[in-house]
Structure 1
Amino acid sequence: MKQAPWAKAVQAIMKKKGIKQRDLMEVFDVRSQGAVSHYFSGRNNLSNEQIIKLTEFLGVDESIFHEGEVEDDFAAKLDIAALTESFQTIARIDNLSDTEIINFFDVYEKMNPERVAEVYEVLQKINKAKKDELSSTLLALKKAP
């Protein structure tokens, strides 16, 4: 079953805010996390009332439920804080020396984390376009006699 079009963006927001599907049982007026997951999987469709309740609960605009508008954009955004924390965690796990860590983060700061995020988003769009083009080409090849 195909995931509901809005689910990816909502899940990204939920992850950022630390919200779990079980926290949405009242919003969906259901008694289990499994029932909530039926909406995310596309098995059940959201009612207008549920959309309103969910947007209020998450503190987002209803446009997130319009397929493709916010979903792709939100998913492509690089969380700069998470990226920085990832680098710090890897440095600790790999037992990098203080000098190595300082040198790395000096370079990282010079590159500007916001700029890194911008480049990431551009590359995501380029890669998606390439993937879409490749898929179209493959589909055309399959249809050829």
Structure 2
Amino acid sequence: MEPYWVRIAKQRMRDLGVTQSDLLDVFNVTTRGAVGHYFSGRSAIDVDQLEALSKKLGVRIDYYESSDNRLALDDVERMLDSWLLKFAQADLVEYKTDITTLKKLMLSSLSD
């Protein structure tokens, strides 16, 4: 089974039309084959390379899948209920619409 970071990177590469040859600078190598060694596990990716790969592909790529860092929409909704009201009560923001409408808009953008 391929590492999590490889699955995410390959999918993003397909989406963007990026090839392993386009990643020579990320891994500081001179051949596509050398890049392939990272994707096959023959060479170990380091933190700097993973960060450079994330930047190159325009998406955060973690080494491991970490479901505990991801929130369900229900969790986000509860946080928004609390935060939006607290921001308004503290006079940190002034909403031009009601909080419920704002929350629905924010949640819909996350589920797209």
What is the TM-score normalised by the length of structure 1? 0.42
Contiguous gaps of at least 5 residues in structure 1: 71-145
Moved over 3 A (4+): none
Query: Structure 1 counterpart of 2:62, which letter?
Result: F
Find the residue that maps to 2:30 and give its secondary structure: coil
Query: Once the two structures are superposed, what CA deviation does each residue of 1:5-33 show, in whole Å capped at 9, x if it has no partner?
Result: 31111100000000000000111100100
Aligned-CA RMSD value: 1.7
Percent identity between the two aligned chains = 36
Contiguous gaps of at least 5 residues in structure 2: 68-112
Partner of 2:76: none
Partner of 1:65: 62
* Count of equivalent residues: 67
What is the TM-score normalised by the length of structure 2? 0.54
Q: 1:33 & 1:55 partners in 2: Cα distance?
A: 18
Q: Does 1:5 align with 2:10?
A: no
Spell out the pairing of 1:1-145 with structure 2 (5 A cutoff): 2-61=1-60, 64-69=61-66
Query: Structure 2 counterpart of 1:30, which letter?
Result: V
Q: 1:31 & 1:4 partners in 2: Cα distance?
A: 23
| Structure holding more helix per residue | 1
